Amino acid sequence: MGLTLFATLFAGLALSSPLRRAAGDSSLPPPLRFTSNGTFQISIFEDLHFGENAWDTWGPQQDLNTVKVMNEVLDAETQQLVVLNGDLITGENAYLDNATVKIDQIVAPLLARDLAWASTYGNHDSQYNLSRHAILAREHRWPRHARTQQMVHGPDAGVSNYYLPVYPSSSTGSSSDAPCLLLWFFDSRGGFQFQRRNASSGAHIGQPDWVDQSVVTWFEATNARLAAQYNRSSFPSLAFVHIPTNASQAAQMSPSGIDPRRQPGINDDAANLAQQAQGWCADGSNGPECVYGGQDVPFMRALAATKGLMAVFSGHDHGDTWCYRWDGVLPGMEVRGSGVNLCFGQHSGYGGYGNWVRGSTQVLVDQRKLGGGEVETWIRLESGEVVGRVELNATYGVDLYAETPDTMTHCPTCNYSVITNMPGTK
């Protein structure tokens, strides 16, 4: 085993919560558990984009609007975990000295309800004045609530790569207890390097926007180690990553496309869905001639080969909220899907492009249905309505559901002409 891989695996093992808890680390949060009725619910907030236009009255008002969305969703649902799935902050609008204070505003509704949260970081969370490491450090001011970790270390890995075990309600969460669900979090990177400029041009230096090979290696090795440790052939699992893979783009552009009755959800980013490795060439260069470089293929192969993986949830494309059962080979791809569901969450923040009604995707896992790889999901809108309720099961993609209305937010304090995201950056 190479030294880099060994160090990566050791770091992931060293940060494993059950082992640290067994060693008497009292600062650790309690383990995630199913409720006594055998369910575990997750509220996903996508693309919050706090901190836009911080220098005028419009930007702070959007943050207040977003906090209102969060409060309304959290009061209406009974979640055990909140996932902040990328683009927490619009970093290109951030000031170097206080960018991460926006995390305090983001997590205040969660702390008020004593809720645990876990983050992935998005392309807007890495900018010249904002680093992922700084966000992680800010989150860890609340160690009993923040579950975000860094289990893969290296210059190209990103930061928010880790897993969280979820135990039965009766479990103590000790190292000898077996989880019944695994939650995987991946860093798709993107954005710009912190406080670095090109020596000749002075331009900000961009970061690759896909899950790195070192993370794929860690994922495969850690998943195999956990299966061996608990004598399991596989674990039921869910995954979260901000930027979707090319499989989502291929599904959308396939001849059958996204059927509003079989894959309900809005599908307004159909012409320009932005996937991992967008704007890169196969040789690793990026420029106006590069469309898609294929660097996310190893990650897609790992997802497709992971037994028990029920769904992957992404954001980034604010105008998409559907799920697609990836089973077989999609046009233009060589990676064969094995039935994992590729899902988009609802745009939650008043920052970022688009004025679709804000909300939060909900995921409900029932222990009694884990053997069949089934999970329920729906979207709770800021209006209080529930749309897009589906069962991700063996017949998803064949079953018929009600269409999801393509509803817009009408807000007198919102300035939709303000553009903060350059084309291709979402």
Instruction: Please determine, for residue 1, whether its predicted confidence score (pLDDT) is greater than 70.
Output: no
DSSP letters for 14-66: HT-HHHHHHTT-TTSPPPEE--TTSEEEEEEEB---BTTTTTSSHHHHHHHHH
Contact 90, 129 (CB under 8 A): no
Q: What is the per-residue pLDDT across 115-161, written as a single tens digit (0 to 9) for each?
A: 999 999 999 999 999 999 999 999 999 999 999 999 999 999 999 99
For residue 338, name the pLDDT band (cuts at 50, 70, 90).
very high
User: Which residues face 101 on adjacent strands?
Assistant: none
Q: Are strands 39-45 and 359-366 parallel, antiparallel or unpaired?
A: antiparallel
The pLDDT value recorded for residue 209 is 97
Query: Mean pLDDT, to the nearest integer, of 51-79?
Result: 96
The pLDDT value recorded for residue 409 is 84
For residue 25, name the pLDDT band (cuts at 50, 70, 90).
low
For residue 29, name the pLDDT band (cuts at 50, 70, 90).
confident
Phi-psi region of 157 (alpha: psi -120 to 50; beta: other; left: phi over 0): alpha
Query: Mean pLDDT, to the nearest integer, of 239-268?
Result: 96
CA within 13 Å, CB half, 59: 16
- The C-alpha atoms of residue 5 and residue 212 are separated, in whole angstroms, by 13
Instruction: Please determine, for residue 234, whether its predicted confidence score (pLDDT) is greater than 90.
Output: yes
Instruction: Please determine, for residue 415, whether its predicted confidence score (pLDDT) is greater than 60.
Output: no
CB atoms within 10 A of CB 29: 15
Q: Give the helix/strand (H/E) hosting 205.
A: strand 204-206
In a domain, 280, yes or no: yes
List the domain range (segments joined by +) for residue 67.
3-392
Which residue would you say has higher pLDDT here, 54 or 17? Answer: 54
% of residues, the chain, pLDDT over 90? 84
The pLDDT value recorded for residue 23 is 46
Distances from the Cα of 275 to the Cα of 22, 209, 246, 248, 270, angstroms: 40, 8, 5, 8, 12
% of residues, the chain, pLDDT over 70? 89
Q: What tokens were used for 373?
A: 């790889």
DSSP letters for 249-272: HHHHHSSS---TTTS-S-BTTSS-
Q: What is the per-residue pLDDT across 358-407, written as a single tens digit (0 to 9) for each?
A: 999 999 999 999 999 999 999 999 999 999 999 999 999 999 999 999 99
The pLDDT value recorded for residue 419 is 35
Q: What CATH number does the domain containing 294 carry?
A: 3.60.21.10
Number of domains, the chain: 1
Helices (H) and strands (E) in the chain, counts: 8, 15
Instruction: Please determine, for residue 315, whether its predicted confidence score (pLDDT) is greater than 90.
Output: yes
The pLDDT value recorded for residue 170 is 85
Q: Does residue 100 sit in helix, strand or coil? A: helix
Query: Mean pLDDT, to the nearest integer, of 397-424?
Result: 67
Instruction: Please determine, for residue 47, whether its predicted confidence score (pLDDT) is greater than 50.
Output: yes
Which DSSP category does 354 fall into?
-
Query: Mean pLDDT, to the nearest integer, of 219-240?
Result: 96
Continuous H helices in 275-394: 297-305
In a domain, 410, yes or no: no
In a domain, 150, yes or no: yes
The pLDDT value recorded for residue 423 is 32
The pLDDT value recorded for residue 137 is 97
In a domain, 47, yes or no: yes
- The C-alpha atoms of residue 25 and residue 230 are separated, in whole angstroms, by 23
Instruction: Please determine, for residue 208, whether its predicted confidence score (pLDDT) is greater than 90.
Output: yes
In a domain, 426, yes or no: no
In the block, residue with structure tokens 């206080």: 98
Which of 131-140, 169-178, 343-352 shows the lowest per-residue confidence on average (mean pLDDT)? 169-178
- The C-alpha atoms of residue 398 and residue 419 are separated, in whole angstroms, by 39
In a domain, 425, yes or no: no
Average pLDDT across the chain, whole number: 90
- How much of the chain is helix, strand and coil, in % rounded to 5? 25, 25, 50
In a domain, 319, yes or no: yes
In a domain, 403, yes or no: no
